[in-house]
């Protein structure tokens, strides 16, 4: 016992969750933010943080709304 009870309060420094694409264990370090996008170290799929506590990852789909963007890129 003592006055330093707050040393164990910060237990959210590392997390581990499962990649929704390949079901590999993905380790998350530091503070998580909802909407943060990271890559799975196993399959390389982009994953978006949908939940923080408990951590949950969902597949991140960036190019879903504007397929015309690809046509413009081809003109270059
Ligand atoms: Zn994966």
Give 5-46 pLDDT, tens digit per residue. Answer: 555 555 556 888 889 889 999 988 888 899 999 999 999 999
Cα separation, 70 vs 72, in Å, equals 5
CA of 29 to the centre of ligand 1 (A): 16
Domains in the chain, number: 1
Is 57 part of any domain? yes
Question: What is the extent of the structural domain holding 39?
Answer: 12-62
Q: Give this prediction's pTM.
A: 0.60
Is 3 part of any domain? no
Q: What's the CATH number where 54 sits? A: 2.20.28.160
CA of 74 to the centre of ligand 1 (A): 30
Is 31 part of any domain? yes
pLDDT number for residue 5:
58
Spell out which residues have Cβ within 5 A of ligand 1, the ion: 19, 21-22, 24, 40, 42-43, 45
DSSP code string of the chain: --S-GGGGT---SEEEEE-TTT--EEEEES---TT-EEE-TTT--EEEEEEETTEEEEE---TTS-THHHHHHHT-
Give 46-71 pLDDT, tens digit per residue. Answer: 999 999 888 899 999 866 566 666 66
């Amino acid at each position: 016992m003592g006055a330093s009870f707050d040393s164990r309060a910060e237990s959210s420094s590392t997390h581990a969750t499962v990649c929704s694409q390949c079901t590999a264990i993905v380790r998350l370090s530091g503070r998580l933010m909802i909407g943060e996008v990271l890559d799975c170290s196993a399959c390389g799929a982009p994953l978006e943080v949908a939940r923080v506590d408990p951590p949950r990852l969902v597949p991140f789909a960036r190019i879903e709304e504007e397929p015309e963007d690809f046509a413009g890129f081809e003109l270059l």
